[in-house]
Structures are given as C-alpha cells and as structure tokens.
C-alpha cells in the first residue's frame, strides 16, 4: 500500500509545508520505534511522552516526512515537514485517507460512560448477530470480528490503529461496529473521524480523575460523543436519565434521543423485575406496549445495560422479538459478574468493578440474592486516582461480612501504601479486624493469589465470594512488569485445592 504525500493531506484544513509533497508514502506511524523506510511520522503529545522529541529517531529509521505541531530546525533538506495546529486531529485524517476511508458505509454504535460499556457492547453484538448483521467490536476486553479475537491494550485504540483495523473489518464484510468509547479517547480525538449513528451514555461516577482532574472535565470529555461526533440530523442519542449527568445531558441535546431508566417512566423503561442467582427477568415498556425479557446475566444493575442495548437496537430498526432473543442468548461477559460454582455449592463471582459506584452496585446486586455471608476481595490500582481508595474501602467494609484487602495492579507504587489508603475508609466504617472463629471483619493479604485462597478457605456453602477489580485481566503490573495472573484461574485452582483437602480429611 502506498500513497502520494500530497494526496494523504487532502483532508487537512490548515497547515504549512516545508519541503516536497511529491513523494510516495508507504506507511504511517506515531511511534518512532515502529517507523519503516518511506513512512510519514506523526508527532503527537502523549500523557507522559512527546512525539516531537523522537523526530530525529523516526528520521534515522527511515521516515521521509514529518507531521508535527511545530517546525523542526536542522532536519535534512529532503525531509518534508507538515506543520498543523493539532497533530492528534491530523493523525485521524491522514490515516483515514491512507486506508481509503473504511468508516464510510459502516454503521457505528458508540458507548460511553463510567460503568456498563463492556456488557452493553456484548449485548448489542448478540442482538445484531441474531438479526443477521456482520458485527465488529472494539472494547476493553478485546477487539473482535469474524474469527479474529485480538487482546485490547486499551479500550479505544489510537486513531491510526483504529482506522487500520476498520479497513480489515471492512474487507471481512463487517457492516456494524460496536465501540466502547473511553473518555481518554474522546479527549484525545481518537474517534473524531468516526461517523457514529448511535451514541449511548450509560452513567457517570468517580473514576479517572488522575487524568481529567475534576468530575466536570470528565463529563465534558464524555459528552463530546454527543455534542460533536453524533450527527445532529441523523444520529440517535441513547441516554440513561436515572443518572444525574444523563439527565443533564438529555436536556441539552439537539439530536434525536431515546431516554431510558428504571426509576422513572421514560421513552423506554423496565418493570416487574426479578433478580436472583439464575439471572434477571422482567418487562420492557416502549411505545405503549411491553415485552417480556429474560437474561442469564447477574445483577439488577445489568437491567440498565439491557435497556441501553434495547434502545440502541430499536433505533437501528431491529424487531423487538430479535432484541429479546439476543438478550437471552448472551450467557455471560468475561470478568463481569462472572459466576464460578464449585461442586459443593460455593459461589465465586469475578467482576471488573474498580470504581466506587461499580463496587457498590455489584455488592448491592449480590446482597439481593445471597443467602449467606459476602466475602469481598479487592484492591486499587497504582498510579491511578488515589481519592477513590478510601471511598472504595468504606463501601466494601460497610457492605461485606468479611473483607480481604489485597493488591490490584500496583504498577510502580508500593502495594502496602495503596492498602493503607484503602484501610482509612475501612476503619471509618467501624469494621473490626478479622479473628478466627469470628463471623466478620477485615484482613490484609497483599499478595492477591493468597488473598483469593484465604477467601475461599473461609467460605461456607451458602456464602458468596466477590473478587473485584481485575475481572477479565490476565496479568498484574508490578514494578513496571506484566506478570501473568488471572482472578478466574486462581479462584478455580483454590476451589480445586480446597475440594482435595476436604476429601483428604
């Protein structure tokens, strides 16, 4: 694949050129380490690194043109420089040109919000497949289309990587793309070239303030999907108006919208709900009629995800019978209220909950159907929003019978320091330290593997063990190193070991 440089920049609006545009470009890169001969290197500013500092390295590796936000002196004369106001915005545009605008003639459903994005994406995918559509998914767990399943390093890829993947999806016959759109991606303009047909707002609660600094800035990043990227004449906004920020968003939208909720009768709403260990069921009300639904997914909060998926599917013209069937066909989502039941009846639930609101909702849902004690295992990630640590400690301690505080992904932080910050909230709850032969209290076990083992060892047949924070992840990040680790596999191993021990005795 190749393209003339002057063709590649046709979508750019304001730019200055120093050098010759009449040269063939064989590829594009924003990472100097991945540059190949005859590439265009796009220098973008990241959270920690600035691509402008790596222009010399990119040229040494063979870049023949540079797209940047400032003119660079002392470069070789045969290097063409294109200077733009915003290189992130430009990256998406030149990438789209290079890969032949694959996003045209494809239908995009974008999902944003603090919680529920992944489950909503899985639900919409299930519905679309049942309706006979060719579906691609871009999300937190993986990117998938056809028979391909690619591990997701980030929820929403950088624009170049996204456009390249879309071109592969288009060649594979994909017509509908379900995309989790993170607040980072929105603020960094990774999806600005995507023509969304449907935008979904699930909710907004405390998370990612290490990046956004305030809840208002976090909210403004989310609403870019609706204010800027969703066409005002053709796009449809699907908004959870039980959420305060959703209500605020819905009042200011100029696009067509479908509002959903449980607590209020909106455009689409749910009632007659039953939530137990087998799943959730009830009725969906829309346009004066109601349709029964049944889902194997656990947790009353998943009704919101079902409503979002239902409303999005309606906006795409899918029949409610197909929607109901697609909902019922999804048995579980990896690491999202994922249930493991041992032969002796011990139940372990793995969930990705890593924000205060998510943890609270998960525990409330488990409490609704648990018949014994709740044993919670969780920690908080390092190099992330520290303010939520004591808040999550307070929630977990107030709502659990036994709490085991452990490590999540400490990254470069001291795991014990993170645990101490969680412990501040635990102590505020009044929960005592756990002692043998007591029914409740908290323990500190820094090594996650042994925290999971201890939780299972302490459990009885009617108890439920919640392991929260990492969900589908198959690693721990400790001192900059990714170490293989899976909550799901560790729980299975611990359950097997306990079963062997029980038989021995």
**What's 131's domain CATH number?**
3.40.1190.10
Q: Note whether 414 and 280 are same-domain residues.
A: no
The token pair that represents 273 in the structure block: 């709900």
pLDDT band at 410 (very low <50, low <70, confident <90, very high): very high
299 vs 439, higher pLDDT: 299
Interstrand relation of 256-261 and 236-240 (parallel, antiparallel or unpaired): parallel
- Domain with 379 in it: what CATH number? 3.90.190.20
Q: Are 156 and 228 part of one and the same domain?
A: yes
Spatial distance between the Cα atoms of 105 and 107, rounded to a whole number of angstroms? 7
Domain total for the chain?
Answer: 3
pLDDT at 438 > cutoff 80? no
Compute the C-alpha angle 13/105/169, nearest 5°: 100
Asked if 193 contacts 96 with a C-beta cutoff of 8 angstroms, the reply is yes
The yes-or-no verdict on residue 135 having pLDDT over 50 is yes
User: Does residue 59 carry a pLDDT above 60?
Assistant: yes
CB atoms within 10 A of CB 76: 8
Note whether 193 and 318 are same-domain residues. Answer: yes
Q: What is the pLDDT of residue 415?
A: 96
Summary mean pLDDT of the chain: 94
Residue 342's domain comprises: 338-504
503 falls in which pLDDT band (50, 70, 90)? low
Q: State pLDDT tens for residues 142-190.
A: 999 999 999 999 999 999 999 999 999 999 999 999 999 999 999 999 9
| Chosen domain end from 64, 98, 132 | 98
Co-location of 286 and 357 in the same domain: no
Looking at residue 416, the DSSP 8-state letter turns out to be H
Q: What is the pLDDT of residue 462?
A: 87
319 and 272, same structural domain? yes
pLDDT reading at 20 higher than 80: yes
Instruction: Choose one of 98, 130, 149: the last residue of a domain.
Output: 98
Same domain, 345 and 483: yes
Quote the tokens at residue 297.
């997914």
Residue 372 has pLDDT above 80, yes or no: yes
**Final residue before a domain boundary, out of 295, 329, 363:** 329
Residue given tokens 């932080």 in the structure block: 413
Give yes or no: residues 135 and 228 share one domain.
yes
Average pLDDT over residues 191-204: 96
Which CATH number is 59's domain given? Answer: 3.40.1390.10
Distance (Å, rounded) from C-alpha 5 to C-alpha 68?
Answer: 15
pTM over 0.85: yes
Looking at residue 417, what is its pLDDT?
97
Integer Cα distance of 408 and 238 in angstroms:
33
Q: Which residue has the higher pLDDT, 349 or 11?
A: 349
Q: Is the pLDDT of residue 233 over 80?
A: no
pLDDT band at 222 (very low <50, low <70, confident <90, very high): very high
* Closest to 175 in 3D by CA, of 145, 138, 140, 141: 145
For the chain, give the percent of residues with pLDDT over 70.
Answer: 99
Confidence grade of residue 218 (pLDDT, cut at 50, 70, 90): very high
pLDDT in tens, 318-345: 999 999 999 999 999 999 999 999 888 8
Are both 147 and 192 inside the same structural domain?
A: yes
Contact 491, 456 (CB under 8 A): yes
d(CA 190, CA 154): 12
Q: Which of 81, 84, 30 is nearest to 57 (CA)?
A: 30
pLDDT, tens digit, for every residue of 483-498? 999 999 999 999 998 8
pLDDT at 424 over 60: yes
Q: In what order do the strands lie in the sheet with 441-444?
A: 338-341, 347-351, 464-468, 374-378, 402-405, 441-444
Are both 147 and 269 inside the same structural domain? yes
Domain co-membership, 433 together with 356? yes
CB-CB neighbours of 457 under 10 Å: 12
In angstroms, the first-to-last Cα distance of the chain is 67
Tell me which residue of 235, 300, 292 sits closest to 274, measured CA to CA: 300
Overall average pLDDT of the 211-217 stretch = 83
Higher-scoring residue by pLDDT: 437, 254: 254
Task: Write the pLDDT tens digit of every residue in 382-394.
Answer: 998 899 999 999 9
Quick one: 160 and 291 in the same domain? Answer: yes
Helix axes 320-329 and 117-130, enclosed angle (nearest 10): 120
Residue 318 is predicted with a pLDDT of 97
Q: Quickly list H helices, 35-138.
A: 55-60, 87-98, 117-130
Tens digit of each residue's pLDDT (9 = 90 or more) over 89-125: 999 999 999 999 999 989 999 999 999 999 999 999 9
pLDDT at residue 504 in the model = 57
Quote the pLDDT of residue 437: 60
Contact between 291 and 319 under an 8 Å Cβ cutoff? The reply is: no
505 confidence band (pLDDT: 50, 70, 90): very low
- Residues 126 and 256 placed together within one structural domain of the fold: yes
């Amino acid at each position: 694949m190749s393209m003339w440089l002057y063709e590649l920049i046709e979508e750019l609006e304001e730019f200055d050129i120093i050098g010759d545009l009449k040269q063939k470009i064989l590829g594009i890169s924003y990472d100097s380490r991945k540059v190949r001969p005859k590439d265009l290197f796009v220098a973008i500013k990241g959270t920690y690194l600035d691509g402008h500092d790596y222009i010399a390295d990119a040229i040494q590796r063979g870049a023949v043109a540079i797209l940047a936000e400032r003119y660079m002196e002392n470069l070789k004369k045969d290097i063409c420089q294109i200077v733009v106001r915003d290189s992130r915005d430009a990256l998406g545009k030149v990438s789209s040109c290079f890969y032949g605008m694959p996003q045209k003639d494809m239908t995009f459903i974008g999902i944003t919000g603090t919680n529920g994005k992944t489950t909503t994406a899985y639900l919409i995918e299930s519905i679309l497949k049942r309706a006979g559509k060719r579906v691609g998914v871009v999300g937190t767990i993986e990117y998938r289309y056809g028979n391909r399943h690619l591990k997701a390093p980030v929820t929403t890829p950088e624009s170049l990587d996204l456009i390249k993947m879309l071109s592969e999806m288009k060649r594979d016959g994909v017509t509908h793309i379900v995309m989790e759109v993170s607040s980072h991606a929105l603020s960094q303009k990774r999806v600005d070239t995507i023509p969304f047909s449907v935008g979904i707002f699930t909710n907004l609660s405390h998370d990612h303030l290490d990046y956004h600094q305030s809840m208002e800035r976090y909210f403004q990043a989310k609403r870019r999907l609706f204010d800027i990227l969703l066409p005002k004449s053709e796009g449809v906004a699907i908004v959870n108006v039980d959420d305060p920020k959703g209500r605020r968003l819905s009042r200011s939208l100029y696009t067509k919208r479908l509002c959903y909720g449980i607590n209020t009768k909106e455009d689409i709403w749910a009632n007659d709900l039953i939530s137990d260990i087998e799943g959730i069921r009830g009725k969906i009300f829309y346009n004066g009629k109601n349709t029964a639904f049944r889902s194997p997914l656990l947790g009353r909060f998943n009704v919101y995800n079902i409503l979002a998926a239902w409303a999005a599917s309606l906006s795409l013209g899918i029949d409610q019978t197909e929607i109901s069937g697609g909902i019922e066909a999804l048995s579980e989502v990896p690491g999202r209220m994922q249930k493991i039941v041992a032969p002796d009846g011990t139940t372990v639930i793995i969930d990705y909950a890593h924000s205060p609101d998510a943890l609270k909702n998960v525990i409330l849902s488990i409490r609704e159907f648990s018949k014994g004690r709740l044993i919670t295992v969780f920690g908080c990630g390092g190099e992330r929003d520290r303010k939520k640590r004591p808040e999550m400690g307070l929630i977990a301690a107030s709502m659990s019978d036994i709490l085991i505080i452990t490590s999540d992904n400490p990254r470069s932080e001291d795991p014990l320091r993170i645990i101490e910050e969680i412990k501040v909230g635990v102590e505020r709850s009044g929960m005592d330290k756990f002692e043998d032969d007591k029914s409740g209290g908290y323990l500190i076990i820094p090594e996650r593997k042994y925290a999971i083992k201890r939780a299972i060892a302490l459990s009885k047949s009617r108890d439920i063990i919640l392991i929260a924070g990492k969900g589908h992840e198959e690693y721990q990040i400790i001192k900059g190193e990714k170490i293989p680790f899976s909550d799901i596999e560790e729980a299975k191993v611990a359950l097997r070991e306990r079963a062997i021990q029980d038989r021995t005795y």
